[in-house]
Structure 1
Amino acid sequence: MSLVFKVGEHSVIGPRPRNEDYVTVVTPSESQQAIKGALMLVADGVSGGAGGAEASEMTARSISADYYATPETWTIQHALDKVVQAANLWVLSQARKDSKMAGMATTLSMLVLRGQRYVLAHVGDTRIYRLREQSLQCLTTDHVWDRPDMRHVLKRAVGLDDQLTVDYAEGLLQAGDVYAIVSDGVWAALGDAEIHRGLMLYRSPQMVAEYLTALAVEKGGQDNASAVIVNIESVGQDHLTDMLADALSLPLPPRLAVGSQLDGFTVTRVIHDSRLSILYQVKNSAGQLFVLKTLQPSRADDKQSCEALLNEEWLAKRVVSQCVPQILPLTLDQRSALYYVMTWHEGSTLQQRLDAGHHFTMNGVANIGQDLLRGLSMLHRLNIVHRDIKPANIHIGSDTRLRILDLGVALNPTLPMPEQMENPGTPSFMAPELFAGQVADRQADIYAAGVTLYHLLTRKYPYGEIEPFQSPRFGEPIKPSRYRPEIPAWLENVILKAIARKTEDRFETAEEMLLALEHGELKPVVIPRTPLIARARLVKWQWLAICSLFANLILIYLLFIT
């Protein structure tokens, strides 16, 4: 079931010489609405500024356009904050370029509806109300000075300050809810009681919007009056679950042999056959090679594994980059079974090169590290944590391009995380905090990248090899120069910083580690030496107690011999 709602909007000039309010409602296609939701907003240009109308219109237009251009892997709040901050800087730049526009600013109240939830963003003194079961509640707080003579003066608005703080909130939708976004020209003239009565007066949201704005002017309102009214008729499912529900009904394909055909693809060889999944090299009717990924036929009744495969396809489709294989856009009508297809690239993984006895040089590892960190930084900007960086998941193509493979356990807030994926990864590449039960984040990816570079150089692990289900203890890492003394100090320090036991001692971002690799010995990373007292894991008072004990023993000895 999808989210169903009706919306109405109206804005009147009132007694003002021009309308400085701007109303926007965006209801995109069903597929885009399932990802980004429907957006409604009211912006009220600050009347004291010459560019109030321009500020409200351009803020509303840029936000509504830019929001739908943000990556689909971003959360709604993260995407809204990015576009609002950009709009704020744009308004400020216009005011600084043109003295006639000095002081231009606008309030902003937005509502995004998706699936079962709403997300609101608010700055200024426009308001968002909710009528639920005949009870009216204001969901926003006015950003005005708390003095009787200054309650019309804004403390926060788009264009007032370089540092804009926006209020965000979210909650569950219910069938029958009515949401109202109104400018101060409506709520100040009518009051909550009159707004409450107006929202219950008509079933049509358009009639309610027109009634409230007209009544505000009739009651003597001295400002522009604008309103957006939304009636929730039925609540949808979780946006991703709703999209993938039909795909889950597809059966898993039987085990395929070389020469087998499936939906126009012919199997040319089996690439990988594991306990959970199978990867086939296939070709289409034009002879182009691809990789087809599916699950073992025995997993047909394993709903969690099927959901994980669909999640992987959904997420991989949204990573449009040369750093990862690209997904072939197949619709459900083009598939008779549960699988997905991605681009094929000649080459080998780093693990395959290690198994073949390849010797990695210092420059080679440094270059691999730079390409790997570029790929990781791209994923992290999309709010994706890979969670299984290791040589087996890093591919070097015959075109010399590095690609990160396998987003099967990648973590993204947009996706539901199956219970079986709470702590995935290969133990020897997993950061220490993951063994303590923490959820993997970008720091864990940076750690795994550091261990990968360490392993390429030494074929060993900094804290020793960790077996599955083992509870390791992490001491001081063995320096890679013990196994490869020719490793330059700057490269060793970059690796040691990436694999530090504590997250605060690692690189803060993938970009920071990338810069360290690019600068090399020109700007070497300095690793602070660990004091003996810290390496012994004894706090200062314990050392003082030990020293005091030895001093007392010496004194006792001297007393006995004198």
Structure 2
Amino acid sequence: MNPAEAKKLAKQARKAAKGGDAMEAGRLFEAAGEYDDAVQTYLGAGATNLAAATYARAGRYGDAAPLYAQLGQYIVAGEHFERARNFKQAAEAYGQAGRPYRQARATAQAGDWNTASSIFQQLGMPRRAAEVCARAGQSIIAGQLYMRAYEDALKRFKDQPAIAASYATRGLARQSGLLYARAGKIDEAVEVLERAELFSEISEVLREAGDAKRAADYMARSGRLEEAARTLAESGDKSGAERMRAEICLQKGQVLEAISHFERAGEYARAAELHEEQKDFTNAARLFEKAGAHQRAAEAYSAMGDTLKAARAYESAQAWHEAAAEYQKSGDAAKATEMFEKAGAKFEVGKAYFDRGLFDQAIRALQAIEAGEPDFAAGKAMLGDIFREKGMHSLAIKNYQLSVGDNEVRQDNIPVYYQMAICLEKEGQYNKALNIYDQILTADYHFRDVSQRVNEVKKLMQSRPATPSAPLATSGGIGAGITGSGSSAGRFDATVYQGDQQAPTQAAQRRYVVESELGRGGMGIVYKARDTMLDRTIALKVLPPAFKTHPQALDNFMREAKSAAALNHPNIVTVYDVGEEAGDTYISMEYVEGRTIKELLVEDGRIPYKAALVIAGQICKAMQYAHENNVIHRDIKPSNIMWTDKKEVKIMDFGLAKILKDVTNQTTRVAGTPYYMSPEQTTGEGVDHRTDLYALGVTLFEMVTGELPFPEGDIAYHHVHTPPPSVKQYVPEIPDDFADVVLKLMAKNKDARYQSADEVFEALKKAVSGK
């Protein structure tokens, strides 16, 4: 517009203003380029918005912004203040508008880094806050904020590992680490960069900090071995440089060169291991000894057949058992005995003396083995052998009896029973000897010369007058019927046999004498009884009459009972005998003083989890043993687990639950108690040892909470389909690790459970230690 036109418009504007038409006057003033007059005219007429817009259209943002602020249009005001580069007032306007992000951004542009950072942090934007702090030179705070941003990114992208591991994401940690380093916080820098596996950056930070050794380690971790070796050499760390050169040689497959470098580095054990891998046991042993690794040296000497050097090296390592074994191989029996003595291995000491014919020293060592120690039975058996050799048959018999304890004749103890019978012969106790021989023949008909000895003993018995035996039980014992607490359970005549001939009528003895009834239920009646033949208290279970109508079930029961009787474990109730008389079936078992876990729960409500851990550990040991012997319980539950007065677990009916349930339920498929049954057991699918582990999980749940995981409704449906609750829902103070063990045991898919009782035991140990 030319000046004349502008002058004309201004004149028209003043005329309109005099005429009271402020709006037209303002418009004409703006058109003439007279912006201040236009604004004043609008303001005089109360049209602040038009005044602000006029300044804005004129590009006078700094003048427009306050007018917008007066109108309460703070966002527009802030934008105009920013255009005018008046960032401080822009921040104030955004603050009044309730726009913190814009406020923080404008505050930062105004140079108020602390306020800007604070606002960004409040907004949960650590990265932006970190950028602001870094500009302000606040390296430590910026480093902390970048690390927070990195951790936020990891959480945000936890289901997108590629993004989480990307250089962009790790770049946040990189910025954090470098800022820490700039502030002189080297350890913090290394820790941050380590989390993001930024090994190259760590090595540079450490090198600049003068820590060549650590810098070289991280160079090696990032694959820069040559550079690591040079760095160590330049810093004067010759051994470190040699070690790094050895690693370089190994990467190139130059094993012998690597060995040389390791030796020069003083890494004798590493060099020895490489010699060992090359089957160079001579140099391996030499270097292991130089490294002070005496046990490894001993293993190398043993591999090369130098038993004496191996023995000495084991002795230096205080590996007494291994040293003894090597001394034995070298023929130094005296030194082997000395090693066993240092190891406190009483049985091995006794055996070593026995093998050397030093019976008195052997007796002293073996008699020191106390009941409950693992070698007690073997020690007593060896003492029996010694006393037999010395012709002291009475003492031999007593030690043999202590060795076998309450165990009946079976494959693993036949030799002991055999020697006991020979000693009984020597003592003239032919009936007892013959009884043992008969039991041995039942277990192993072809064992040594037992058949011949039976005939010889019978001849000896015939050559002298027979003495009638007295009855072993009076009325109330098994024979005329079992009587206990006024109850009768059928006939069980225990006839004594000698060889192939039945003894005289007087010997048709009653073996079991009932003392009292312990309990009764769907599984039969249980009595406390006395086994007069072996002179011990037992539990005698008389099975329900339903067995009479289930011949197949009875056959299955006999087979399962045989498997159960083969189990010999301190946490499993031992099955002694099973039989049938007058149509009634009975089973004799170990008698246990104590209460069932179910009874404890009824009395106390629940069991403290630490006590439950102790109980569970023993259950696991019993389960692992049974499962290794191919016996599955199928009905693990609190009422089948005893807690003895000696604080020991005893599991009842191991291997027998299935058949007993089959008969009492009138079925031959599904066994177990519904509250504790696994999904595969519930649906009738094939079960294995993991079914017992599921029941253990339910049992543990009930022990620590006092409740069942599925106490009501369609129990079978819940076991198959409904996720079990956590024990922490009932007892919040129970540790997470323990709660996780219980949940894993109750996994619906048996492949998702622990795969053995040993695995459960290890998981429980970790739950105890918290590791």
TM-score grouping bracket, smaller chain normalisation? 0.3 to 0.5
- TM-score between the two structures when normalised by the length of structure 1: 0.44
Bigger relative CO (Cα 8 Å, ≥ 6 apart): 1
Which protein has the bigger helix share? 2
